[in-house]
Amino acid sequence: MQLLKSSAILALAILSANALPAADRAAAEQRGLLDDIQITDDLIIFDSPAFPDPNNPGNTLVQLQSFASLRQIDLGVVSSAVSAFLGTLGVDVGDSLNTLQERIRLLGAIGLPGKSATISVSGCVNEVETGETSGLPNLGMSIATASLGDCGSATELTGTASLTFLDNRKISGSIFASPDSGFGVISDIDDTVKISNVLDTLELIKSTLLDEPKAVPGMPELYTSLAASLNKPQFVYITGSPFQLFPFLNDFLDSAYSTAKGPIFTQNLTVIDPVQAIQFITNSNTQAYKVSQIDRLQAMYPNKKWLAIGDSTQKDPEVYAEAFNKGVAISCAWIRQVEGADNSAERFATAFAGVPPDKFRVFTDAEIPALANIEVAGGEC
Ligand SMILES: *[C@@H]1O[C@H](CO)[C@@H](O)[C@H](O)[C@H]1NC(C)=O
C-alpha cells in the first residue's frame, strides 16, 4: 500500500495548490495555476443529456459531465493491490489480469480540481466549456450546464475536447439531445439490462472486474422494440455504480444496447484506495441518489413521460414509486423479478404504496418477450 499512501499525499498537495477562493481564480489563472487539460492529465467526457432551453426556443442546453485526473503511470501497483484484496476474498484473478487492469484503471485515479476544457460539439453552433472541475468532496468532477446554440435535429452528437498543442489524443463523449415531449426510458443497469449478480458479493465482483459482461437475455431485443414503439425515447441509465466504472458500462451498452444508447448517470465516489472503491461497489445504497437523478431529469424534461425499468435486487421499486408519488410523470414501472431477492407481495405492496396497480408490473424472465407487446405509448403498462 506504499504507493497508495504517497498518492494520497500527492493528491493533497495538488488540492491545496488549487483550492483557491473564487476571487483569486483570475489571478491564479494568469499565473498558470488553473488551466487546461495538459498532456500529463486525463479527461473523461461522460455521455451527457441535452434538452431544449425553456427560456430561449431554438437553443439547446447540455448538462455536460467531465472528470479530470492525473494521467496514470503505474497501473501495476494498483492492480497488485486489488489482486491481493481479491485473493483475501477467495477470488482468483487467474488469466483475467488484463481485464482487471482495464476495469480498475480509474479506481486509482487522482482527480484534479480547477481544470476546464473547451468542447466543440458536432452540428451545434457553440463550443462549450466543461466547467471547472470541483475540489473536495467530488474531486475532479464537473457537471455544468452550457448553451450549445442551434443543434438542428440530430439526437446523438459528439463533444470533443480541444487539447494543447502537441497533445494528439482524441477525447470525446456523446451528447444525447431529446425534446421536452414524448417518452423517455429510465433504466437501471445491474441485473436489469446486464447480469451482475448484485446479491452475491463474490459473483458481483467477478462480473464487474473480471468477466465479459453479459446482457440479461431478451432485454436488448425489448429495448430495440421500445426505441421504435416509443418513437425514439430518451434512454437514460441511472446506476448506483461509481463513475469509475463508466468506461466499462458505456462500452457494454454501446455494444449490447446499440439501439438504446443514452446518458449514464453514475455516482460520485472520491477514494484514492481502489480497495475502498470495490467495497463501495458491493455496498452501495442508492435510493436517495437515484431519486435525486430522476429529479434532475424532471427539471430538464418537465413534459416528458417516463417508462422506468429496474429490478428487485436493490431499491428500484422504492425509487420509482417515490418519484411517482412526488409527481414525476412515470407512466409505467417495470421491475424484473430476480431470483433470491425479496420478491414477496408485501415488499411490492409497501414499495408501491400510493401508486395505482395498473402503473407498475413485476415480470419474470419468461415474460420479457411479451413486454414488447404492451402499448406503453398508448397508456398501457
Ligand atoms: C457530483 O459532483 C458534481 C461536481 O461537484 C456535483 O455537481 C454533483 O451534484 C455531484 N453529484 C451528486 C449526486 O452528488
pLDDT at 12: 31
Strands (E), 122-242: 127-129, 141-149, 156-161, 172-177, 183-187, 234-242
Interval 94-116: pLDDT, tens: 888 889 888 888 887 889 999 99
Residue 277 CB less than 6 A away from ligand 1: no
- Domain's final residue, options 177, 207, 222: 177
For the cut 60, the answer to whether the pLDDT of residue 31 exceeds it is: no
Regarding the beta carbon of 312 and ligand 1, being less than 6 Å apart is answered: no
Q: Do residues 207 and 71 both lie within one domain?
A: no
Residue 6 pLDDT:
30
The CATH number of the domain holding residue 318 is: 3.40.50.1000
Of the candidates 285, 211, 302, the residue with the CA atom closest to the CA atom of residue 248: 211
- Confidence band of 34 (pLDDT split at 50, 70, 90): low
The pTM of this model reads: 0.89
**143 in ligand 1 pocket by Cβ < 6 Å?**
yes
Taking the centre of ligand 1 as the mean of its atom positions, its distance from the CA of residue 138, in whole angstroms, is 6
Residues 129 and 259 in one domain: no
- Is 138's C-beta closer than 6 angstroms to any atom of ligand 1? yes
- Of the three residues 128, 144, 177, the one that is the final residue of a domain is 177
Measure 131 CA to ligand 1 centroid, in angstroms.
Answer: 12
- Quote the ligand 1 centre to 143 CA distance (angstroms): 7
Return the H-helix or E-strand segment holding 231.
none
- Residue 22 above 50 pLDDT? no
List pLDDT tens digits, range 310-349. 999 999 999 999 999 999 999 999 999 999 999 999 999 9
Please indicate whether residue 134, judged by its CB atom, sits closer than 6 Å to ligand 1. Answer: yes
Q: Which atom of ligand 1 is nearest to the CA of 142?
A: 4
pLDDT of residue 73: 63
**In this structure, are 307 and 365 located in the same domain?**
yes
Do residues 220 and 336 share a domain? yes
Q: What is the mean pLDDT of residues 208-214?
A: 93
Substitution site in 138, 243, 285 for ligand 1 pocket (most atoms within 8 Å of beta carbon):
138
| Percent of the chain predicted with pLDDT > 70 | 91
Task: Report whether pLDDT(62) > 80.
Answer: yes
Identify the burial level of 94 via C-beta atoms within 10 angstroms of its C-beta, where 0-12 means exposed, 13-18 middle and 19 or more buried.
exposed
pLDDT digits (tens, 9 = 90+) for 224-245: 999 999 999 999 999 999 999 9
Query: What mean pLDDT is reported for the chain?
Result: 88
Predicted confidence at residue 315, as pLDDT, reads 95
Å from CA of 269 to ligand 1 middle: 10
Q: Which domain holds residue 228?
A: 183-378
Q: What are the backbone angles phi and psi of residue 295, rounded to the nearest 5°?
A: -60, -40
Asked if 192 and 286 sit in the same domain, the reply is yes
Asked whether the predicted pLDDT for residue 24 surpasses 50, the reply is no
Ligand 1 atom nearest 141 alpha carbon: 4
Is the pLDDT at 254 greater than 80? The verdict is yes
Pocket test for ligand 1, best of 63, 116, 143 (most atoms within 8 A of CB): 143
Ligand 1, atom 9, residue with closest C-alpha: 143
- The minimum-distance atom of ligand 1 relative to the CA of 133 is 4
Which residue carries 494521467 as its cell? 71
Q: How far is the CA of 133 from the centre of ligand 1 (A)?
A: 10
Same domain, 192 and 138: no
Distance from the alpha carbon of residue 150 to the mean position of ligand 1, in angstroms: 27
Side-chain-side CA neighbours of 74 within 13 Å: the count stands at 9
Looking at the CA of residue 289, tell me the nearest atom of ligand 1: 13
Q: Residue length, the chain? A: 381
99 CB-near residues (< 8 Å, 6+ apart):
209, 210, 211, 212
Residue type, 72: Q
Give tens-digit pLDDT for 132-145.
Answer: 888 888 999 999 99
Q: Do 39 and 145 share a structural domain?
A: yes
Give the chain's domain count.
2
Contact 205, 100 (CB under 8 A): no
In a shared domain, residues 250 and 354: yes
CA of 268, closest atom in ligand 1: 1
Where would I find the beta strands (DSSP E) of 137-276? 141-149, 156-161, 172-177, 183-187, 234-242, 264-267
pLDDT of residue 278: 84
What pLDDT sits at residue 228? 98
Tell me: pLDDT of 14 over 70: no
| pLDDT (mean) for 167-179 | 95
CA 59 remoteness from chain centre: 25
Residue 13 pLDDT class (50, 70, 90 cuts):
very low
What pLDDT, on the 0 to 100 scale, is given for residue 78?
Answer: 79
Residues 343 and 205 both lie in one domain? yes
Quote the crossing angle between the two packed helices 75-88 and 274-283, to the nearest 10°. 50
Q: In this model, does residue 64 exceed pLDDT 60?
A: yes
Mean pLDDT of 365-380: 98
Q: Is the pLDDT of residue 19 over 80?
A: no
Same domain, 108 and 202: no
Q: Do 323 and 259 share a structural domain?
A: yes
Same domain, 132 and 235: no
Give the mean model confidence (pLDDT) for residues 149-160: 94
CA of 306 to the centre of ligand 1 (A): 23
| CB of 268 sitting under 6 A from ligand 1 | yes
Hey, whose CA ends up nearest to atom 7 of ligand 1?
Answer: 143
Residue with CA closest to ligand 1 atom 14: 268
300 close to 51: Cβ distance less than 8 angstroms: yes
Out of 157, 177, 197, a domain closes at 177
